[in-house]
Amino acid sequence: MTENIKIEQTPVYISKPSGDVKGGLILIHEVWGMNDHIRDVAERYSKEGYLVYAPDLVSDTGIEELITVQLQQDLFNPEKRNQVQPKLRELMAPIQSPDFAKKTVASLKKIFEQLYNESVTNQKVAVIGFCFGGTYSYNLAVVEPRLQAAIPYYGHCDQPAEKLRSIQAPILSFYGQNDVALVSSLPDLENRMHNAEVDFSYKVYPDCGHAFFNDSNPYAYNENAAKDSWIQSIEFLAKNLSR
């Protein structure tokens, strides 16, 4: 069962399990915003027993009206990437400001609070996100100590160790080997997480890059990596939301 609501000003797509609820899951979209792929992922997780809240965190930026499926695919097409990158940078400008980041984290806190207080979740809530959503999965973990688990896919985390020390949730992250900028930063991130005493692990998949989980993009999707990370995510949630 699905439903669309608003938590304050943020639209939220809700996917509900048909049976017993194992916990709550905040699902954060890629930079493209709420689309059919993210709705499908939300429904996959609800079939696994999770009450899923998938907020549309860029609904008021105008990005979703300007982004096309073709533009998304062209970004991952080696023959067209250089042509679309300038346009993409222009489109993404509204979400690059510190004010946007502050507002988005505040919205996620409110969404967490409502999901945490749903009686069926038993105060067990995790977060999973992709790209933009991976970055904000890290950000939510920093500010919300009641979070039970975080699964960032190809997200960026630039907080210093002193801020990372507030993280209480175990983190499992996924990356594609060809996503060079993010993968090259992983040793430093691992060191900061270690110094902050965070339960942090990650897996880098060979022969794929950014957005390998997105099966709506034939240029980015990697079936082996997507299937393996799905299995590991389900196991990670089961382990950490059963505590």
- Residue 49 per-residue DSSP state: T
Distance of CA 115 to the CA centre of its chain: 16
Local confidence band at 242 (pLDDT 50, 70, 90 cut-offs): confident
Distance of CA 58 to the CA centre of its chain: 14
Q: The tokens of 131 are what?
A: 């790209």
For residue 224, how many other CB atoms are within 10 A of its CB? 12
For residue 77, how many other CB atoms are within 10 A of its CB? 15
Sign for the CA dihedral angle at 228, 185, 193, 150 comes to negative
| Residue type (1 letter), 79 | E
Encode pLDDT of 147-201 as tens digits. 999 999 999 999 999 999 999 999 999 999 999 999 999 999 999 999 999 999 9
Encode pLDDT of 196-222 as tens digits. 999 999 999 999 999 999 999 888 999
Which residue's entry shows tokens 């400001």?
97
The predicted pLDDT at position 92 comes to 67
Distance CA 60, CA 84 (A): 23
For all residues of the chain together, what is the average pLDDT? 92
Encode pLDDT of 1-24 as tens digits. 999 999 999 999 999 999 999 999
Between helix 69-76 and helix 81-92 the angle, nearest 10°, is 120
Q: What separation in angstroms does the CA of 124 have from each of 92, 103, 115, 182, 243? A: 33, 24, 9, 30, 9
Encode pLDDT of 26-51 as tens digits. 999 998 889 999 999 999 999 999 99
Contact 119, 27 (CB under 8 A): no
Look at the pTM and tell me if it is higher than 0.85.
yes
Distance CA 15, CA 205 (A): 29
2-240 in CATH: which number? 3.40.50.1820
Q: What is the dihedral of CA 203, 205, 210, 213, to 10 degrees?
A: -90
The predicted pLDDT at position 56 comes to 96
Buried b (16+ CB within 10 A) or exposed e, 39-53: bebbbebbeebbbbb
Contact 226, 238 (CB under 8 A): no
Top pLDDT among 145 and 88 is at: 145
Lowest mean pLDDT among 81-85, 201-205, 224-228, 229-233: 81-85
Encode pLDDT of 50-105 as tens digits. 999 999 999 887 776 656 666 667 667 776 666 666 666 666 667 888 999 999 99
The predicted pLDDT at position 219 comes to 86
Q: Which own/partner pairs from 34-37 qualify as long-range (CB within 8 Å, at least 24 positions apart)?
A: 34/59, 34/64, 35/64, 35/216, 36/216, 37/214, 37/215, 37/216
